[in-house]
Amino acid sequence: IFLLRLQVLELPKTYLNNQFISKIEEAETGEQQFMKHEHLRLYKYETVVRRQIGTNNLFLMSTGALAASTSSTTATTSRMLLTERVVFWINRTSLMMLIL
């Protein structure tokens, strides 16, 4: 009888633990989906940045040095191009590199 009562007492606890674990798993799945979405968004954005850099005749060296040869056909509107560590502010005449 004592063992039977112990098992009955353990049931809700196990059930609650399982519920808690499933909530954690849901949260992890949600976070993974968010991170996946973020990586995809960053990848798309970086692709746009690379295209823009190509369009504006800008070359990003592997050492991190920037050599810019902007042409007069560069669009007049300023653009904010964001990568993970570097923000490029590109307009018709100037190029600034800001390390975050």
DSSP state of 1: -
Per-residue confidence (pLDDT) for residue 97, from 0 to 100: 46
Per-residue confidence (pLDDT) for residue 58, from 0 to 100: 47
Per-residue confidence (pLDDT) for residue 91, from 0 to 100: 47
- As averages over each run of 10 residues, the pLDDT of the chain (100 residues) reads 49 58 63 67 66 53 41 42 47 46
Per-residue confidence (pLDDT) for residue 1, from 0 to 100: 47
DSSP state of 99: E
Per-residue confidence (pLDDT) for residue 96, from 0 to 100: 46
Per-residue confidence (pLDDT) for residue 33, from 0 to 100: 67
Dist. CA 12–CA 95, nearest whole Å:
64
pTM equals 0.26
Q: What single string gives the DSSP state of each residue in 18-62?
A: HHHHHHHHHHHHHHHHHHHHHHHHHHHHHHHHHHHHHHTTEEE-T
